[in-house]
Amino acid sequence: MSDEDTPADGPELTLYRLHGCPYCERVVRRLDRYGLSARSRFVAGEHSTRDAVAREAGTRSVPVLIDHDRGVTMPESGRIVEYLDRTYGEGA
Amino acid sequence: MVDFELVAFPPSDHPEPGDRAPDFTRPLVTDEYWEDRTLSALAAESGGVCLLFYPLNWGGKSRYWWGEIQDRGWPVEEPAVVGVGISQPFDHRRFADFLDLSYPLYSDPGNDVARAYDIVHDLDGMEGIEEPRPAVFVVDEELLVEYAWVAEEWPQSPPFDEVEAAME
């Protein structure tokens, strides 16, 4: 995919998310806290249309965060938030 | 054809062949997700873009035009055929599903892309709603306009044969 739309500095992150999904917003807030910017890919409500997420993450649930440089693909907001804290948080 | 006069659009200062098309970023709705996509990046990656500004989703024009384009098998690369309409992304998604559409659609509810191309169509009798004037721009990898067609009357359908020839 394109690199043109990705910020030059900082890790390359992709967030699969759903409009109005509180779990997704939780991840976005944590990304903001650490000054991280992710490419947002919005899926529709129907799980049947989420083939891209299924291919990437083996699940049709969102959010899914992909940290390209570290080769990490992670579903579930709780796990993602822990990962972000561990990897990009103050103690990291 | 109808034997009465159609509504004439006023003159437009839209991009002409040899001009650089205005760049923009809007959510691009594909069959799997939507994400912000910049036209210049899309053009560079796809070997050019055929940008189709089309009327309201679900109306006869939009359904007929996209059906015609599907039947003709217009390309998804070199150039990539892409629509621009005023629907929000969920509606684009449903519309594309309904038509089994192979082409991505830019979502531009504010109609600002049409404004940048000087092809705004203020819909008569629908206060507060505007859409693009029917138009087609074929641009190369660097957004240089190779072909431009902008409707002079409403409603007027794109010259499909002419556009097809321009894409070859």
The DSSP letter of residue B49 is E
Task: Please report whether residue A81 resides in a domain.
Answer: yes
What pLDDT shows up at residue A2? 44
Nearest alpha carbon to residue B18 among B136, B142, B115, B114: B142
How many folded domains does chain A comprise?
A: 1
Distance separating alpha carbons of residues A39 and A65, to the nearest angstrom: 10
Fold topology of B15-156: Glutaredoxin (3.40.30)
Q: Write out chain B residues lying below 8 Å of A16, CB-based.
A: 33
pTM: 0.91
What pLDDT shows up at residue A88? 95
CATH of residue A68: 3.40.30.10
Mean pLDDT of each 10-residue bin along chain A, 92 residues long: 53 95 97 96 86 89 96 97 95 73
Range of A74's domain?
13-88
Distance separating alpha carbons of residues B135 and B153, to the nearest angstrom: 11
* ipTM confidence: 0.88
Verify whether the Cβ–Cβ distance A4 to B32 is below 8 Å: no
- Return the sign of the alpha-carbon dihedral for residues B34, B67, B73, B136: negative
- Look at the block and give the residue holding tokens 């599907």: B70
The DSSP letter of residue B142 is T
Name which of B32, B36, B46, B106 to mutate to probe chain A: the one with the most chain A Cβ atoms within 10 A of its Cβ: B32
What pLDDT shows up at residue A47? 82
Residue A43 sits at the chain B interface (C-beta within 8 Å): yes
Q: Write out chain B residues lying below 8 Å of A42, CB-based.
A: 27, 33-35, 89
Torsion of the alpha carbons at B58, B60, B61 and B66, rounded to the nearest 10: 60
Residue A60 sits at the chain B interface (C-beta within 8 Å): no
Parse chain B into domains and list their residue ranges: 15-156
Distance separating alpha carbons of residues B42 and B168, to the nearest angstrom: 19
Residues 6+ positions from B48 with CB-CB distance below 8 Å: B78, B79, B80, B138, B139, B140, B141, B146
Q: Write out chain B residues lying below 8 Å of A2, CB-based.
A: 37, 41-42, 45
What pLDDT shows up at residue A90? 83
Evaluate whether B84 touches B28 at the Cβ level (below 8 Å).
no
Q: How far is CA A69 from CA A57, B32, B111, B145, in A?
A: 16, 23, 37, 37
What pLDDT shows up at residue A6? 47
What pLDDT shows up at residue A1? 42
Evaluate whether B39 touches A2 at the Cβ level (below 8 Å).
no
What pLDDT shows up at residue A4? 46
Q: Which stretches in chain B have pLDDT values below 70?
A: 1-2
Give the H or E element holding residue B57.
Answer: none
What pLDDT shows up at residue B7? 87
Residue A42 sits at the chain B interface (C-beta within 8 Å): yes
Name which of B25, B26, B33, B40 to mutate to probe chain A: the one with the most chain A Cβ atoms within 10 A of its Cβ: B33
Residue A50 sits at the chain B interface (C-beta within 8 Å): yes
What pLDDT shows up at residue A51? 87
Closest partner residue to B35 (CB to CB) among A39, A50, A51 is: A39
